[in-house]
Amino acid sequence: MKRYFIMLVAVALLFPFLTISPVFAAKKPKTILEYHHDVTGDGIPEKITVYGIPFKDNKDYYQEVWAEINVKGNPKVTINYEGGFEPKLEFADLNHDGVDDILYSSATGGSGGLYNYALHTVKDGKLYELPLPEPIDIESSFENNFQAIMKIQGIHNPIHLDLSSRKADYIRLGLYQKNGVLNEPTELMIDPIALFKIVKIKGKEGYGLKSYRQVSGAYHADGIGTVEVLSYFEDGKWNTIDVQWKPSS
């Protein structure tokens, strides 16, 4: 590649009238989505265009994604995002300053059903990135007799789990002995936050975010349940409003 680049430079110097398109030239962006929404607070919907560059071997995956916002009387605002599948924008006033913010999401495509997220405000035409709620603390462990226990921040009592219906699988995998004795200390599989959902928070003004984290047993498809957390932005930070454990059906 280095030798090829040197040759291109030499040709350009000798024949400046030629147009050279090297194989590593930037790909042409694709328009993915277009929105019209007031995100500056001036009462006039701004045109928001989301662009992406598809991955050459998978046209449904965008290796680069960005949004361009036409702001009246100001330079165009550009927001760069992480790539992924099915990128989209959602609008809600999550920091409660009277102007809708921009929540970006795109699917990673992994087995865990995870999404990339970013939250921004463009109030008065000025771009700022806002934080997203941090994951709460969760401690977990398998116990003897095909049991497990979880301590979830925000839930007062430990969660006790009876996993005896899975004992044949756990014995086969070597997690337990046939008599129900745990072979070695092992934690449950706790995913990072998989997705955020914009929700109305009861007893609060406006909207917040609900996050979802999957908890699995010996392997990821061994789903045990989901930790759901309601968060509300107040006093410059995200506060946990409610935490729920939802066992898998």
For 28-74, write each residue's pLDDT tens digit: 889 999 999 999 999 999 999 999 999 887 778 999 999 999 998 88
Q: How confident is the model at residue 130 (pLDDT cuts 50, 70, 90)?
A: very high
Short-list 119, 116, 58, 114, CA closest to 91: 119
Could you tell me the pTM of the whole model? 0.85
Q: In what order do the strands lie in the sheet with 147-152?
A: 138-143, 147-152, 159-162
| Residue 78, pLDDT score | 97
Give the separation between CA 175 and CA 170, rounded to whole angstroms. 5
How high is the pLDDT of residue 67?
98
Q: Is the pLDDT of residue 6 over 70?
A: no
- Asked if residues 81 and 63 have their Cβ atoms less than 8 Å apart, the reply is no
Q: What is the pLDDT of residue 111?
A: 66
Closest CA to 28 of 5, 48, 54: 54
**89: pLDDT confidence band, cut at 50, 70 and 90?**
very high
Residue 110 has pLDDT above 70, yes or no: yes
What is the structure's pLDDT at 237? 95
CA pair distance 129, 101, nearest whole angstrom: 10
